[in-house]
Structure 1
């Protein structure tokens, strides 16, 4: 089943007519930045938590539109009413100059933290190998192996470790 995509301006018009905006991103992403009035719903949940007396139209969005496209069939099944995808997601909404609520006190998204940490460790291993000892490549290899394992298994030890850091415990669920 496909869900039609709409522009941010079309989505804003539907919202003005009573449609419900549903953010399918993770808690940490939503806590840092979201469209005012959006309902947070994780795709892994069985049904969209629509407010009582909600409209018969739902507009789904993520950050760039890729997650909503990838989960379109599941979103359509969970919506149970007319559904649309916000083309370009939150990024397109912001480019259109539409309002966004930001809380810079919240930490950056966990996956971005993993990318920063892994990239820093790989770069450090390369610099060590180039300047101090050829064994520096072992650090880069270890991080690479960890990323492959995370991709294959779905378990990311670095993400689990970063989630326990004090700055990540502030995220509003």
Structure 2
């Protein structure tokens, strides 16, 4: 579905006090780099009811909700999920937090290094493939199936833009 989009430079050129940015990244991503004043509801926890409650709680009801993630994909998914279910206009921040940082818009940074969700997925996939190869070589060839399963999952994620491992890792305790 096509959603309204805005570039961060355009959005923050004349910031208003009623500006409502909803960050749908994981808690660890927000802990590493955050946009001051943004509401935070991770995509996997986002529901229209929860968003409405947050808007009322922060006095932002009736305003346009600008959706932010790392690069733009999760913001699109959030807009699809919320479209027609909330009493607010939805707009995706083009390029996400990557574009915000490239535009030199002030953000808060935690200098303690945290792994992004994408890094966690790549690390977990690599470890599982390596384990499958090692066990397949030294234990039993059936363990090569683990590597094949992970490879098939990566192909599926690449084609559909849905990553089961990413959705699972987003719910992990260290990402809360």
Q: Same fold (TM over 0.5)?
A: yes
Give a deviation string over 1:41-66, Cα, whole Å, max 9, x none. 23432331114432622211111011
Deviation by residue 1:56-112 (Cα, 9 ceiling, x = unmatched): 222111110112223423233344123211011111111111122222436313552
Instruction: Answer with 1 or 2: which has the greater Rg.
Output: 1
Q: Distance in 1 between matches of 2:108 and 2:140?
A: 43
Partner of 2:160: none
1:93-172 aligned within 5 A: 93-105=100-112, 107-123=114-130, 133=137, 141-145=145-149, 148=152, 156=165, 163=172, 168=174
TM-score by length of 1: 0.69
Q: Which residue of 2 aligns with 1:70?
A: 77
Q: 1:64 to 1:111 in 2, by over 3 A?
A: closer
* C-alpha distance in structure 2 between counterparts of 1:78 and 1:24, whole Å: 17
**Unaligned 5+ residue runs, structure 1?**
none
CA contact (8 A) 1:3 1:76 kept: no
How many residues are aligned here?
A: 160
Structure 2: 5+ residue stretches without partners: 158-162
Scaled by the length of structure 2, the TM-score of the pair is 0.68
Mapped partners of 1:138, 1:127: distance in 2: 11
